[in-house]
Chain A
Amino acid sequence: MNRFLPLVILLVLALFLGLGLRKDPSIVPSPLINQPAPSFELPELRDVNKTVTKETSLGTPYLLNVWATWCANCRVEHPVLMQIANDGRIPIVGLNYKDDRPAALQWLTDYGDPYRDIAYDESGRVSIDFGVYGAPETFLIDSEGNVRHKVIGPISVELWQETLLPMLAEL
Chain B
Amino acid sequence: MNLRTTLALLLLTFSCQLFAVTNEFEFGNRVNEQRYLSYISKIRCLVCQNESLGSSRSDLAIDLRNEIYRLMAQGQSNEQIDDFLVSRYGDFILYQPPVKSSTLMLWFGPFVLLFVLLTLLLFRIKKMKNQPTTLSASEQQQARELLNPKEDQHD
Tell me the A residues contacting B by CB distance below 8 Å: 25-26, 28-32, 98, 123-125, 128-131, 133-134
Contact = CB atoms under 8 A, between A and B. Distances in A.
B90 A28 contact: yes
Contacts of B67: 125, 128
B86 interface: yes
Contact of A31 (B47, B63, B64, B88): B88
Interface string B45-57: 0110100000000
B92 interface: yes
B49 A31 contact: no
29 contacts: A25-B49, A26-B49, A28-B90, A28-B92, A28-B93, A30-B89, A30-B90, A31-B86, A31-B88, A31-B89, A31-B90, A32-B88, A98-B59, A124-B60, A124-B63, A125-B63, A125-B67, A128-B63, A128-B64, A129-B88, A130-B88, A131-B88, A131-B90, A133-B46, A133-B47, A133-B60, A133-B89, A134-B46, A134-B60
B90 A134 contact: no
A98 B63 CA distance: 11
Interface in B57-71: 59-60, 63-64, 67
Contacts of A125: 63, 67
Q: Interface on chain B toward A: helix, strand, loop, or mixed SS?
A: helix
Interface string B73-89: 00000000000001111
B125 to A, nearest CB: 14
B81 to A, nearest CB: 13
Interface residues of B, number: 15
Contacts of B49: 25-26
Contacts of A133: 46-47, 60, 89
Contacts of B88: 31-32, 128-131
A57 to B, nearest CB: 20
Contacts of B64: 128
Interface centre among A25, A125, A128 (most CB of B within 10 A): A128
Given A128-B88, A134-B46, A134-B47, 11 more contacts: A28-B89, A28-B90, A28-B92, A30-B89, A30-B90, A98-B59, A123-B63, A124-B60, A130-B88, A131-B90, A133-B47
A26 B92 CA distance: 11
Contacts of B86: 31
A52 B87 CA distance: 23
Interface string B27-52: 00000000000000000001101000
Nearest to B62: A124
Contacts of B63: 123-125, 128
The 6 closest A-B pairs by CB, nearest first: A133-B46, A131-B88, A31-B90, A131-B89, A28-B92, A124-B63
A130 B90 CA distance: 11
A31 B90 CA distance: 5
A134 B48 CA distance: 11
Nearest to B67: A128
